[in-house]
Structure 1
Amino acid sequence: MASGEYFSTAERLAIHKTIHQAELASRFEISVFVGRSEGSSRAFATQLHNRLAAPARSVLIALDPEAHTIEIVTGGQVRREVADAEVDLVVLEMKSAFAEGDLAGGLRRGITMLAEHRAQR
């Protein structure tokens, strides 16, 4: 996770714990990038996702706080378990928390929601 100055140490630890719990619950690999996107935020997130060890069963959440963009890229196996509409709901939930100034909490809630959507199937 590239987090720079966006999170305190406690927030980074809480995010890592949330990722670990979500990975155990969903059996997906979850990666988070927080920082400046290069060019198109979607293309940048897709490039990052494609570089992951197991992109087919991975989720990448790319958040650019400066540009106010959120991209969630899901691999083929993940898309069979989590519908695009469910991912859209996750993005809306995260945006709501971010609008209230809760970057870490919104990110953690989004990660948890992705795992919950998988568990409901």
Structure 2
Amino acid sequence: MSAGELSPGQIENLKRAIRDAEESSEVTFSLFLGPAEGDPHLHARALHSRLESPEESVLILCDPTSRALEIVTGRIAGRSVSDDQANLAAVSMSGDFAAGNILGGLEKGIRQLGESARKPPKLHAYSEQ
């Protein structure tokens, strides 16, 4: 499966998951769905480095054919999405992938990463004296 094999509705669902994750956080999310060129980890890193703001971005690479999943976080994005949180999202996605639900797993994983990177609520102390 690659992005070219998706219906317009499926593409819109993935875009909505990315939009929701970005709106709830200060992180930019990108998804690459398709065959990785060579080593998936190196390919994911190369794609991530070419993003507009790689330091503030998370890239998810999913190659269903080779069963590869990579999550790359930039330095600033890594303050909001820890390696442990990325690993938990990967485990969650992998469970859905194993059940044959690639798109559902991606949507769930993107939303989970967005929740991990959620902006903390602003608390204001106000006192009148």
When normalised by structure 1's length, the TM-score is 0.93
Amino acid of the structure 2 residue aligned with 1:49: H
In terms of fraction of residues, the more helix-rich structure is 1
CA RMSD of aligned residues (A): 1.3
| Aligned match of 1:106 | 105
| Aligned match of 1:116 | 115
1:27-106 to 2 correspondences below 5 Å: 27-106=26-105
| Aligned match of 2:126 | none
* SS of corresponding position for 1:107: helix
Amino acid of the structure 1 residue aligned with 2:4: G
| Aligned match of 1:3 | 3
Computing the radius of gyration over CA atoms, which structure comes out larger, 1 or 2?
Answer: 2
Rounded Cα–Cα distance in structure 2 between residues aligned with 1:47 and 1:85? 22
What is the deviation of 1:48? 0.1
When normalised by structure 2's length, the TM-score is 0.88
What is the deviation of 1:68? 0.2
Rounded Cα–Cα distance in structure 2 between residues aligned with 1:37 and 1:65? 10
What is the deviation of 1:106? 0.4
Q: Percent identity?
A: 37
Deviations 1:9-57 (A, max 9, x none): 2111111011111111112111100011011100000000000000000
Amino acid of the structure 2 residue aligned with 1:85: D
